[in-house]
Structure 1
């Protein structure tokens, strides 16, 4: 019997999406951004004493006595308006001001929706496009694992970091989220895997393990030097990003060397050859998982299996109703992201998506620019609309209703990749805006939220997938999982931090870009390096077998760091002193 849980969760998230959208529309209709808000009674005096714009980004809002004055402050102060598309502080203090419990619950549930959208976009659109492109380009699983597929797995962290540095002006969120997620995966996930496979005494491949850890240590030491210097130039940021390309070249060279050895007259047995090839980090690349993904996507099958006792007509009606309720989350992406896979091919969706994709890109470009006039905006939309109409007519004339196009399929996949990148960027931008707003509401530093909520949310999939792969995949699965726990976070650290540092250094050139000051980064890097050194010492001494001793040590290092960071944030250390 099927498990209806995925359907129930998806239905709940979709219904909440509709409710939150209605709250957003109500807020937009009753608010007048930039206008002066008059407040009667005692609240007005408090508003008049406040500066026109809070230089610390709306942090003094907790000095106000009631929700009415806070609502007026939020509407009048530009510092309370972040770079996202929704003003969460206005919804919390104005729309739901008299029901703070509903406000907190609403923000929390919307955070879950955005995490779901971020992960689902990567799983359903981003990664399939990359995997199909890698097959068309005939990349080996090894090369695809450290290039295209690592980009697919790390896209949420990379885009969140880029937006944190370039859009929100709060680079500490991006710095803490990327490092926090990498620390979580390389310590907690590796620790859980080690404790799970320890009794079976499974060994990992020495060269791959040592290579990944040494490159990761060099990355963290380089980052520590950058943070210590408190600035970085364009050349330095390019060199930092280049570490990952050197890593990719090293992986490729080792793979080619292993391949040449396997082609010698004395061949290696098939199983050993396969094991050696799987020693290269594939970052979760397993083709057999595609069937399970398809089953999870098909919610109607779950319902039909779990409701066997119902009449067939009733079951069909309920399935259609739930699929209709699921449209708010699925339809906008389905109508704007071209899909070129045979399993999900649909000519109507293909024509509509290729038509609307340029319009969505135009809207995204307009939102990234400040003070876009009506004339400039209209020209952008008209141009993108004409381009979309031309592309839509070409797609209608050159495609079939049953199968995706054979010729030019790489163009479809590239378009799907581009639009999935656009949607990932949009969702990540909104997620960061929400985290900053939640930090203001709760009075918690946004960097701490990036270290915990954002890092854990983006790393939860790694915990589940890598642990399952290690437990059920045998020696090869354990090798892939361990390698992915180091190679994937290293990609996030080098690209997720290197790209925004390069962008910001380029904008400041020939001056230097000043690194966001956060003394707690030294503490995190110290514990992080300590966890890698622990693995680098323990695993070789144990015959390259991850065990419970390794796992307990990694978990202890991470939770010691987390406890110390939270104690310092909450002021508990000051009380103990």
Structure 2
């Protein structure tokens, strides 16, 4: 047994771990952490310990950053290319992307025989998010919750928590348990989509009733529909304190009032419906701004995407350009200006430096001074891994692809009907720096291809370096050569669309590869820590592993709550843990099918069982507390939730 290393003389410990510690369990990562501790001299051992701690922190940051900044944007682009609705994509592909670190970590741990570590991480992360993060949001910004959404999500979360408690209590995972977890999540997706469609029908019906009673200007209709929105919603639609920050559609100016009533009434009704739908989209996961997700578990649920963004990022957008995720291309020049305003701020924020290497290494430097202290610390700590991922992982914004598709259609019409008055578009006419984008994409495809090949092939990559370099160089050359310099006809536009689609797929593969690699290295370090310091997998799972995977959620949700959007932060605390716990069913099914077994036995301590019981009690207390507090999430409830986590964690650690 590898755990007997502590009973060996110090001079024999190095040979013992090499002979008795299964490399498939302990040396699964790129670094051999056991050898660093038992085979190095005292000085180098301390250096190795510090190195492992630094690597562990960077790995946790890398897990969150890869999922939020690369995997989710590419998954969103894939969902649009597959013509999936925003609601369905948010509850499936984007939910999976946001929870990919937990999902892949669980699978890797179970495949290595450390199911107790996987279970404790899932339960620890779920407990931390639904106690400390919700409690912190309540303390920072007390708010009234939307009762129907809260009842729906909290009830489903409670059911999944009870199933997890049952699994822990029996100390085994069966195929029926896996099917039950997956069925619960599919039922949740179905209920969310159904409730979304019901609300949209009520919005449309209410607008038709209002319009049939009277004629009024757009300004008046905007005010009336906002004031009467409570009549539309089931129960009462809570007066959101963040409604101004959520609505990107402003009432149109008075000079745009109806001139041709018969023709414009229908357009006005549609616009009003879109305005209300946008407000209601915090329920249905269709609140879409022209920004990509910035946090790992921010929106797997139905409460609207949670994004860390520059405060002034959307100020330059036309209020009618983005409604329910649909982009208005009627005025292409206006859209280009809007698109450029967004893209140049997001990706080319240091263009004033006028140096390619600075723009590659400092893409978001201008927003640093606007961050709070906690966000600055996180930005600095994650900077090395962020640059590493930026140069090796393609991430294509679907906003650009969708714009190009519209221009492609217009160019085709111009080719078919040359007498019509239409306009061609050249890349040089845009402020968006396509030349820089071409350079960045070439670098990303080179290192991205190399990374994907190396990570998928494994440790024998060095044996095929010539093939690796040739394949990477060829891919980068094709992208660079194929990237058009002028959009003068539909053929050139079609080339750029195909490049974006290819790089979206490559970015997805590379993102998954990095997340899997990071998760494997995290497990390798934690297994080493468990052996060296005599800590159980349960303790490491509910503390280091769970907190490391949840730190991104904590920072982003606290920032959002401080920014005046507590409901958005509160809603995000249910969907992420929900899909993470349900993903146990997928991981267990894969492991069981590969091993040919029908039952996966798990070594469960009484501490983990008690901790899981605390999770169920905490969810029940949250439901009861908010219910008997007139649907208010206030400081009292927040304090109790935080104390619950402190007590449960302390008991779990002390009992071990």
Question: Residue 279 of structure 1: SS of its match in structure 2?
Answer: helix
Alignment of 1:431-510 (within 5 A): 431-473=522-564, 477-495=565-583, 497-509=584-596
Alignment of 1:126-275 (within 5 A): 126-134=71-79, 142-166=87-111, 168-198=112-142, 202-264=143-205, 265-266=208-209, 269-270=225-226, 272=229, 273=276, 274-275=278-279
Mapped contact 1:59–1:440 kept (Cα < 8 A): yes
Measured in 1, the distance between the counterparts of 2:368 and 2:620 equals 49
Measured in 1, the distance between the counterparts of 2:177 and 2:593 equals 11
1:174-215 alpha-carbon deviations (Å, 9 max, x no partner)? 1111110011001111111112222xxx31111110000111
Aligned-pair CA distance for 1:218: 1.1
Deviates more, 1:516-525 or 1:352-361: 352-361
Question: Residue 513 of structure 1: SS of its match in structure 2?
Answer: strand
Question: Residue 433 of structure 1: SS of its match in structure 2?
Answer: helix
The answer on 1:423 being equivalent to 2:514 is yes
Aligned-pair CA distance for 1:142: 4.1
Alignment of 1:286-435 (within 5 A): 286=307, 288-289=309-310, 291=313, 300=362, 329=385, 333-334=389-390, 336-341=392-397, 346-351=437-442, 353-354=444-445, 357-367=448-458, 391-400=475-484, 405-407=496-498, 409-435=500-526
Q: Which residue of 2 aligns with 1:29?
A: none
1:111 to 42, 52, 56: 56
Distance of aligned partners of 1:190 and 1:138 in 2 relative to their CA distance in 1, 3 Å threshold: farther
Question: Residue 393 of structure 2: SS of its match in structure 1?
Answer: coil
Aligned-pair CA distance for 1:556: 2.0
Distance of aligned partners of 1:303 and 1:207 in 2 relative to their CA distance in 1, 3 Å threshold: closer
Q: Which residue of 1 aligns with 2:12?
A: 69
TM-score by length of 1: 0.74
Aligned-pair CA distance for 1:419: 0.9
Mapped contact 1:194–1:547 kept (Cα < 8 A): yes
Distance of aligned partners of 1:78 and 1:515 in 2 relative to their CA distance in 1, 3 Å threshold: closer
Aligned-pair CA distance for 1:402: 8.9
Measured in 2, the distance between the counterparts of 1:391 and 1:303 equals 30
Aligned-pair CA distance for 1:165: 0.5
Q: Which residue of 1 aligns with 2:251?
A: none
Measured in 2, the distance between the counterparts of 1:561 and 1:385 equals 51
Mapped contact 1:217–1:532 kept (Cα < 8 A): yes
The answer on 1:514 being equivalent to 2:574 is no
2:649 to 546, 562, 573: 562
Measured in 2, the distance between the counterparts of 1:254 and 1:243 equals 16
Q: Which residue of 2 aligns with 1:534?
A: 621
Structure 2: gaps spanning 5 or more residues: 211-223, 230-275, 285-301, 314-344, 351-358, 370-379, 401-431, 488-494
Mapped contact 2:129–2:554 kept (Cα < 8 A): yes
Structure 1: gaps spanning 5 or more residues: 1-53, 308-322, 570-577
**Equivalenced residues, count:** 480
Distance of aligned partners of 1:155 and 1:330 in 2 relative to their CA distance in 1, 3 Å threshold: same
Question: Residue 83 of structure 1: SS of its match in structure 2?
Answer: coil
